[in-house]
Every structure is written in C-alpha cells, then in structure tokens.
C-alpha cells in the first residue's frame, strides 16, 4: 500500500510540476515570440483545456496518496518531521492557487475569447501566468525538499 501510494504521489507530482515547467519555460516564450495575441490566447485556452484535467487528477491523488503515506508510515503528521509538514502545507497552497486559476481567470479567459475581447483575455492569461509561476516555484521547492529527505 505504501509503495503504491508513493508511486502515485511521485507520478502525479511529476505530471503537474513538469507540465507547469514545460508550459512556463518552453511553450510560453515560443508562443509569445511566434503567435499574434488572438492566436496565442486560443492556443493557451486549448493547452489549459488539455492540461487542467491532469492537474485535477493530481489535486485528487496527491493529498490521498500523501495522507496514505503519512498515516501508513508515521501514524499521522505528529511524527513526520518538519519537511513533510512543509510539503503538506505548501501542497494545499498549490491546490488552492490552482482552484483559483481554474474557476476565476481561466473561466474569464475562455469567456473573453468567445466574445473576441482580446485585451481582457490577455489580462486573464497574464494573471494565470503569474499564479502558475508561483505554483511552479512552490512545486520545484517541494520536489527539492522531498528529494532531500528519506521516506
């Protein structure tokens, strides 16, 4: 059970953090360089439409697998140590930030694109970009922290 939880935890974290890294560090600069704003905004809408279901899966699996490991190996969080407690707290911060992105600026992005309101859609995308940048930094920090401890 613990090994399965660990594997699921690592895989979903890799999908989420790796997807953000790719989007932020590779796709974003190329899209900004090659595509005019209307096409770039449509591209991002479609990218998010394909990536966000995977993030929702991560939002479900990461806490469940994390709790399975914490309660299966340590009988709860009282004996896990500060590193795991930090990962736990920051993981919930990441989930909250993603939920905000999904329900507020992403919905606004889609609506503004549908109504050909390009400047407002660009504002929504800029907000998404900032929050994904924060989540990417948090995710990379959590990965580094996880790699530095022994499970």
What is the residue whose two structure tokens read 């694109």? Answer: 113
Sign of the alpha-carbon dihedral angle for 12, 14, 16, 17: positive
One digit per residue, the tens of pLDDT, for the chain of length 151 reads: 899 999 999 999 999 999 999 999 999 999 999 999 999 999 999 999 999 999 999 999 999 999 999 998 888 888 788 999 999 999 999 999 999 999 999 999 999 999 999 999 999 999 999 999 999 999 999 999 999 987 5
Nearest to 139 by CA among 150, 127, 131: 131
């Amino acid at each position: 059970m613990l090994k399965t939880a660990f594997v699921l935890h690592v895989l979903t974290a890799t999908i989420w953090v790796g997807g953000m890294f790719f989007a932020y560090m590779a796709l974003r600069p190329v899209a900004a360089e090659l595509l005019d704003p209307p096409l770039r905004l449509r591209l991002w809408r479609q990218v998010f439409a394909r990536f966000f279901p995977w993030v929702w899966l991560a939002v479900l699996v990461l806490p469940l697998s994390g709790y399975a490991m914490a309660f299966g190996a340590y009988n709860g969080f009282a004996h896990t140590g500060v590193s795991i407690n930090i990962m736990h707290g920051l993981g919930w911060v990441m989930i909250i930030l993603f939920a905000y992105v999904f329900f507020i600026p992403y919905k606004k992005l889609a609506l503004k694109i549908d109504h050909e309101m390009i400047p407002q859609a660009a504002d929504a995308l800029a907000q998404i970009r900032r929050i994904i940048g924060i989540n990417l930094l948090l995710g990379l920090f959590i990965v580094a922290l996880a790699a530095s401890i022994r499970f």
